[in-house]
Amino acid sequence: MITLDDVSKRFPNGTFALRDVDLAIEAADFVFLVGSSGAGKSTLIRLLIREELPSSGRVVVDGEDVARLARGRVPKLRRKIGVVFQDFKLLPTKTVAENVAFALIVTGHSGPNVREETDRVLSLVGLSQRRDHFPDQLSGGEQQRTALARALVNRPRILIADEPTGNLDPVTSWEIIKLLTRVNELGTTMVMATHNAEIVNALRRRVVHLDHGRIVRDEREGQYAA
């Protein structure tokens, strides 16, 4: 599903965010990206959604070489990938349902389909009762679940979460993680960058450890620390 082949990312100031990274992620896999701040986790994620281009090497996502992708085809790639961030990135002037439906409308969906799909994902993340609330009327966990619903509404093949629990308390974090594992069990490939050792250790999933832009550890049922 995702292949990084000898990928390096060098910024104009000369520093390397990633160096000689080889990584293969199968469909329906669940992968934790761990490592200290600045290790290259976010850069790797930005390469996958083509917010950045690799300086060298090849990044292939669902059969598409992202560096060679024409600009006009980038939206199609991104529709296959759902993304969730630490800061939720919700639109404050839209309700929960509107935030979710927004992802459908701007990708060209219309008609009763928008309402149906919105209801489906809101029910999946348990927010059906909160559909008409605005983000500032929601708890952090509810905001993250709204963001998750938005990421899932286009039925992506891959879900990428960049520190999704970074702003949440432990109990709420677990709610989000349960949702993510459920989405993964339904067949969505899951890539999650995190600093949350408790969650990584409890789930016993694949762990890819980055340090100074290099992969220093890649374990099938890994722990947060070696």
Partner 1 sequence: MIRWATYIGTAAVHGFTRNPAMSLASTLTVTLMLTLFAFFLTTDRGLQAAVGVLESKVELAAYIDDNAKVSDVLDMKKRIEADPAVARVDYVTKDQALQRLRDIAANRPDFAFTEISTNPLPASLEVKMAEAREAKRLAQDLRAEIGKGVIYDVVDNPQVVDQLLTITRVLSVGGVAVLAMMLVVSLFVIVNTIRIAVHARRDEIEIMQLVGASDWFVRWPFILEGMIVGTLGAVVALAILFAAAGPVTTVMLDFVDILPLSFGPEFVGQLVASVFGVALLVGAGGATLSVRAHLAK
Give residues in contact with partner 1 (CB under 8 A): 49, 71-72, 75-79, 83, 89, 91, 102-103, 105-111, 114, 150-151, 154
For partner 1, the closer of residues 63 and 108 by Cβ is 108
Min. distance of Cβ 154 from partner 1 in angstroms?
7
CA distances from 224 to 19, 21, 27, 37, 203 (A): 21, 20, 22, 14, 10
Min. distance of Cβ 195 from partner 1 in angstroms?
22
Contact status, residue 88 vs residue 166, Cβ threshold 8 Å: no
For partner 1, the closer of residues 13 and 110 by Cβ is 110
For partner 1, the closer of residues 16 and 102 by Cβ is 102
Min. distance of Cβ 101 from partner 1 in angstroms?
8
SS3 string, the chain, reads CEEEEEEEEECCCCCEEEEEEEEEECCCCEEEEECCCCCCHHHHHHHHCCCCCCCEEEEEECCEEHHHCCHHHHHHHHHCEEEEECCCCCCCCCCHHHHHHHHHHCCCCCCHHHHHHHHHHHHHCCCHHHCCCCHHHCCHHHHHHHHHHHHHCCCCCEEEEECCCCCCCHHHHHHHHHHHHHHHHCCCEEEEECCCHHHHHHHCCEEEEEECCEEEEEECCCCCCC
For partner 1, the closer of residues 25 and 49 by Cβ is 49
Min. distance of Cβ 144 from partner 1 in angstroms?
15
For partner 1, the closer of residues 78 and 217 by Cβ is 78
Min. distance of Cβ 100 from partner 1 in angstroms?
10
Min. distance of Cβ 75 from partner 1 in angstroms?
4
CA distances from 100 to 87, 117, 138, 152, 214 (A): 16, 9, 15, 9, 36
Min. distance of Cβ 82 from partner 1 in angstroms?
8
